[in-house]
Homo-oligomer: A and B are copies of this chain.
Amino acid sequence: MTRTVQTPRPSRFGDLFDMLTDRGRALLRWRDGAGRVTAPPGLPQMAELLLSRRGEASGVALARALVTAFEEADEAKRLEFLLALADRFGPDPGAVGQALAAIQAQPGSVEAIEALHTAAEPRRQELFRRLNLAPGGTAALVRMREELLGHLRDNPGLRRVDSDFAHLFASWFNRGFLVLRHIDWNTPAAILEKIIRYEAVHAIRNWDDLRGRLQPTDRRCYGFFHPQLVDEPLIFVEVALTRAMPDTVAPLLDLDRTPIDADRAGTAVFYSISNTQRGLAGVSFGNFLIKQVVEELKSELPNIRTFVTLSPVPGFAAWLAQAREGGDMLDDELRAALKPLDQPGWHVDPDAAQALREPLLTAAAVYFLRARDAKGRAVDPVARFHLGNGACLERLNFGGDVSANGLKQSHGLMVNYLYDPGRIEANHEAFAERTEIAASDAVRRHLPALTPKEKP
């Protein structure tokens, strides 16, 4: 016979916590079994509590308490919690054992396999879903993973926690939930200061510099936002509207240039694209962002027919240094012609620069079209991103960025990737399946003929 209880009644066992309300903010006061106020439990215990029955009734309050406790704990305690996630919040061994037994009993049963899938879900996935109940929970989880990423090298066991984060974030930050927003000079300062902080390609020096990228008629900036992270762009792209495809970056960033009417522009240049949340590493936004911005611009400004990037080549100088040492990527003649690179200040010496132009472009063509890394991929990370999106390597720009950084990473080389909506899929497929690199004739022309032994 079930029993009925009278309410209110004193708790027989003492509650583990009471909810207190202080100016609309729920707090928890922890009690021991005898009802005495006590210190809060450790983070792993709180996580167990959140996964328990009690977590069902008081999920929001408990989730908030755990999030707060984690963020206020010192670094050692936080790492301890992350390690506990790896060790103690994996799949439930009992449930997995039963599911495996069922499979052995019915080999090939789809039901059994699907039951196993459910049984083998690490408990931390449900924990993360419950932590998300806390106000600000999504942002807190993203920060938690950011912290975890910093410990990965020394604690490879955390990798399995990371992959649960990655799985969940891929679902929560699905493109279908993101909102594209125009970022301009009417955007709240709280967001704009993040644009300044997160710009990863061409640093924004100050607010005047920022205004120069947002306010002129021939500049645009777009970002993806998630409804739960209102002040945080997840990724943003800066766009210049120009008459022709640019080959150097300095004029684009010049605050004193004269803007053109947006109606007069024929080309949109994606000159900077920056991810902002390290905690969302591996969730891919850039691909969708560029394509949606292309749609936006085509609809707003039908005169724009060409969509290109002006991109850095961050891996070129390092690769070239090695290739000049040895290997069969470059031949001796080219190696000799590249000698002047070692002379400091060559880029301000017109003769030296002129002499280097062709050899460097040839080397660059090799770098993009022939070189592969240990995994067989294109060497340049920016190239992998744009080619993987279905863009095509359109032009190599000698002296495109002669800032100190530009010289250091790529001997001043910049490139344009072209987004041609009609070719994007074919390029993507060829790149992904057959490692074929889409490149214009103009680029391929720089490629030296293959020596007999290189021929496939």
Contact = CB atoms under 8 A, between A and B. Distances in A.
Given A189-B211, A227-B177, A53 B432 contact: yes
A263 to B, nearest CB: 7
Given A175-B60, A423-B8, A425-B58, A434 B3 contact: yes
B24 A295 contact: yes
B228 A177 contact: yes
A113 interface: yes
A40 interface: no
Interface string A154-174: 000000100100001011101
A428 B110 contact: no
A207 B53 CA distance: 42
Contacts of A424: 57-58
A288 interface: yes
A447 B3 CA distance: 12
Given A120-B114, A189-B187, A439 B134 contact: no
B369 A4 contact: yes
A325 to B, nearest CB: 21
Number of copies: 4
A54 interface: yes
B57 A429 contact: yes
Interface in A403-456: 418, 420-430, 432-441, 444, 447, 450, 454-456
A4 B132 CA distance: 46
Interface string A32-68: 0000000000000000000001101111100000000
Nearest to A91: B113
Contact of A422 (B8, B93, B436, B441): B8
A121 interface: yes
A7 to B, nearest CB: 4
A160 B110 contact: yes
Interface in A168-218: 168, 170-172, 174-177, 179, 185-190, 192-193, 206-207, 211
Contacts of A439: 4-7
Given A54-B429, A176-B133, A188-B188, A372 B2 contact: yes
Contacts of A4: 369, 436-439, 444, 447
Contacts of A423: 7-8
A71 interface: no
Contact of A7 (B291, B299, B438): B438
Contacts of A228: 176-177
Contacts of A447: 4
B263 A132 contact: no
A96 interface: yes
Nearest to A58: B425
A259 to B, nearest CB: 17
B110 A15 contact: no
Contact of A190 (B2, B90, B185): B185
A100 interface: yes
A54 B436 contact: no
A116 interface: yes
Given A122-B114, A177-B227, A5 B436 contact: yes
